[in-house]
Amino acid sequence: MSNSTKYVFVTGGVASSLGKGIISASLAKLLQARGYSTTIQKLDPYINVDPGTLNPYEHGECFVTDDGAETDLDLGHYERFLNVPTSQANNVTTGKIYQSVIEKERRGEFLGKTVQIIPHITNEIKERIQLLGEKGTYDIVITEIGGTVGDIESLPYVEAVRQMRWEMEDDCIVIHLTLVPYLAAAGELKTKPTQHSVKQLLELGVQPDILCCRTEHELDLNLRRKIAKFCNVSMNAVIEARDADTIYDVPLLMQSEELDKVVLEKLSLPTKSVPNLDQWNEFVDRLKNPKSEVEIGLIGKYVELKDAYKSISESFIQAGASNEVKVNVKWIHSEKINRDNADDLLVDLDGILVAPGFGSRGISGKIETVRFARENKVPFLGICLGMQCAVIEFARNVLNLPEAHTTEIVEDCKSPVINMMEEQKNISNLGGTMRLGAYECQLTTGSNVSEAYNSDKISERHRHRFEFNNEYLEQFEQNGMKATGKNPHTGLVEVVEVEDHPWFVGTQFHPEYKSTVVNPHPLFVAFVKAAVSNKK
């Protein structure tokens, strides 16, 4: 069978957290820079239908796509590297696969057959992989298999890869990412774990075409030869993946290892032009040579786990490079902040971001933080729950509504300045039922936000159940908090700004999901710029 779309699978062995997502995104970047339209897909072996209901401590940030999918944070890396939006189809979980197979069974689509892992589950997996290729939009689809080869959970995925390679011959290759650990006592890099991991893949019927070896030290020629020989791969297909200073170096490291060239050769595709990475190099150059530094506080309740705010911290890196400054993010736990210590904890910050979130833990610290930023005229960005806290703070301290709150925390509160959307009220299922994905927003001409975007019409991604309560809008506006962004169709307030403040913006949407290397997000760029002007 010949197929115009080519498939690259990325598996991992020896240990988790080797960075399959970054290697996949880097390879995609290089192929894109050679003129191939490329997309990346992540297959996650867990049984949750999506990570939307997972606690960030379990899984890090939940990334949201334009079409409203709640996905793995690796999709954020894909978008940041490629500057191309992903969609529902780019993240598949075991939960989704089984849900769909079971629904088909209930509809009688299997005509009375016994439904089994092979072929029904593996067929469903193969269909999901090929769905991205079928549209004809992509020359190359890179599919990252989550987890580690040998895990019980990932067996059906590896089996689907084996079948696809058999069925599609030249149109499929497998890259296996492994670890080559350094044993300090022996003073040596060790290849045995890699050999074992490849053996494990072979037992499942898959011979990898390329090995990417994560290592702290140089893989010399002897080691490369040894790995090639024991793992049946060609010498040029043993790729060194050295630890990098920043993830943004990885495409450049992979380019010098010629990973993209080897991939194209193995897929029998022409190498076309040398990848044009001018914009990328410019970005890395600015990132590594900042002219000054700023301190920005990130106030959230998951600060022990930096992955929970991945897109926000990457947005700061991109906006910092764009402003030629290094943004030092000071992670502050919202539960630690109260009226008495807020001044001491926050006084050194040049800018303050209050993070998104759910539930009551740490919310009073967030509200205190907003008060500090508003009263002391510190540049402020509040995202989603952060914006809602800004509204609550303003209501309590300026509008004199001491019992103002969100109905998420106090259901029957006296002044519900943030309350549940009408269409959310009868929903009992938690999965995938929030207001999700991209919505249009009309900005007020001349506001800080419209200046930042240099446009009055924008589209941004949402993930929430609660909203600004428009019954209070007039009161807010008369007292200096303006709704400078609204949904043009529903009138929902999407952006608030405080007048008489250098830069105070709260957004109901999540700008961080749309910041990329090539297009750092305008709100983050403007926020960092305001923080630079406010430098202590």
Q: Terminal CA-to-CA distance of the chain, rounded, Å?
A: 65
In the chain, what's the furthest Cα-to-Cα distance?
Answer: 75
What secondary structure letter does DSSP report for 46?
S
Question: What is the C-alpha separation between 510 and 66, in angstroms, rounded?
Answer: 11
Query: Please, what is the minimum distance in Å from the beta carbon of residue 430 to ligand GLN?
Result: 11
Q: Measured in whole angstroms, how far is the alpha carbon of residue 523 from the centre of its chain?
A: 18
Which residue is catalytic, options 176, 464, 501, 510?
A: 510
Query: Please, what is the minimum distance in Å from the beta carbon of residue 324 to ligand GLN?
Result: 30
**CB-wise, 120 or 435, nearer to ligand GLN?**
435
Torsions phi, psi for 450 (to 5 deg): -65, -30
**CB-wise, 320 or 357, nearer to ligand GLN?**
357
Q: Are 102 and 117 in contact (CB under 8 A)?
A: no
Helix-, strand-, coil-residue percentages of the chain, each rounded to 5: 40, 25, 35
- Which distant-in-sequence residues (6+ apart) come within 8 Å of 279 by Cβ? 517, 518
Which residue is catalytic, options 462, 467, 512, 521?
A: 512
Q: SS3 for 462?
A: strand
**CB-wise, 406 or 516, nearer to ligand GLN?**
406
Torsions phi, psi for 446 (to 5 deg): 90, -10
Our answer to whether residue 403 is catalytic in this structure is no
Amino acid type, 475: Q
What secondary structure letter does DSSP report for 508?
S
Query: Please, what is the minimum distance in Å from the beta carbon of residue 416 to ligand GLN?
Result: 13
Our answer to whether residue 384 is catalytic in this structure is yes
Query: Please, what is the minimum distance in Å from the beta carbon of residue 408 to ligand GLN?
Result: 5
Query: Please, what is the minimum distance in Å from the beta carbon of residue 418 to ligand GLN?
Result: 7
Binding interface with ligand GLN (CB under 6 A): 356-358, 384-385, 408, 463-466
Our answer to whether residue 510 is catalytic in this structure is yes
**CB-wise, 29 or 461, nearer to ligand GLN?**
461
Question: What is the C-alpha separation between 249 and 253, in angstroms, rounded?
Answer: 6
**CB-wise, 89 or 384, nearer to ligand GLN?**
384
Query: Please, what is the minimum distance in Å from the beta carbon of residue 384 to ligand GLN?
Result: 3
Which residue is catalytic, options 172, 213, 231, 384?
A: 384
Residue positions counted in the chain: 536
Q: SS3 for 531?
A: helix
Six-digit token string for 341: 């210590």
Six-digit token string for 308: 């929970």
**CB-wise, 233 or 332, nearer to ligand GLN?**
332
Q: Could you list the active site residues?
A: 384, 510, 512
